[in-house]
Amino acid sequence: MKIQWLGHACFLLTAGDNTRIMTDPFDETIGYPLPRVPADIVTVSHQHFDHNAVNTVPGNPKVVQDAGEHVFGNIRITGHNSYHDKKKGSQRGKNIIFIVESEGLRVCHLGDLGHLPDKILIEALGPVDVLMIPVGGYFTIDAGEAAELVKQLSPPYVLPMHYKTAYVDFPIAPVTDFLKMFPGYGEQEELVVDRSNLPRQTTVVKLNLWKTAPENL
């Protein structure tokens, strides 16, 4: 599986059969350049404009925006209910955590998770191979909470998301607050994940913003 970061909480996952899954697409007001990348499936963790801009995604994708199990050929996507805040959704509503299963891998996109999951939710998520985790705080868990959750889940790969960059003016923290807790982190243009060659220890990878070009489409 190949994974690229398109900005904010938006990733592009490309399965072995070239099925493209996009997470939490944003609209033009966020500040990142719109990827304009065709997708077959789009997941939406919650109905906020920086996560649900499905209309910006070419290709007439199937949209997954509910908890429960969703199967598309060899791809299984399971949504788990959670909250956008620490008060059971009373401040910012609900959030869906998605587990994407393909190529023998389990990829977890936490969306705008605003609280640390309890033991029941942790067990429901099951083993995670790639964790996409918000680290910017304010609207979501912060860097310290994210680091704690990484320790609980112990995934082979961790991809930070939803943090302050030059593109966005949200009152969230930069990724450096999270990365300093993982001094051995790497920085890559994309991540290619193979079930047969997962790292034995948790590896944090900061993905650079993928600049789409005609040859990428």
Q: What is the pLDDT of residues 79-122, one digit of tens each?
A: 999 976 677 755 666 899 999 999 999 999 999 998 999 999 99
Domain ranges of the chain: 2-216
CA distance 114 to 89: 9
pLDDT per residue as tens digits for the range 162-180:
999 999 989 999 999 999 9
Q: What element of type H or E holds 52?
A: none
pLDDT confidence of residue 216: 39
Nearest to 85 by CA among 49, 134, 120, 51: 134
pLDDT confidence of residue 214: 40
pLDDT confidence of residue 81: 96
DSSP 8-class letter at 114 = -
CA distance 15 to 179: 28
Which residues, including other chains, have CB under 8 Å from residue 34's CB and lie 6 or more apart? 26, 27, 28, 56
Distances (CA, A) of 22 to 12, 62, 116, 199: 5, 10, 24, 24
pLDDT confidence of residue 49: 67
Q: Which strand ranges, in their side-by-side order, compose the sheet holding 203-207?
A: 68-72, 75-83, 94-102, 105-109, 130-134, 157-161, 203-207, 186-188
pLDDT confidence of residue 94: 87
pLDDT confidence of residue 46: 82
pLDDT confidence of residue 213: 42
Per this entry, what is the length of the chain? 217
pTM for this one? 0.94
- CATH 3.40.1640.10 fits domain 2-216: no
Task: Kindly give the parts of the chain with pLDDT less than 50.
Answer: 213-217
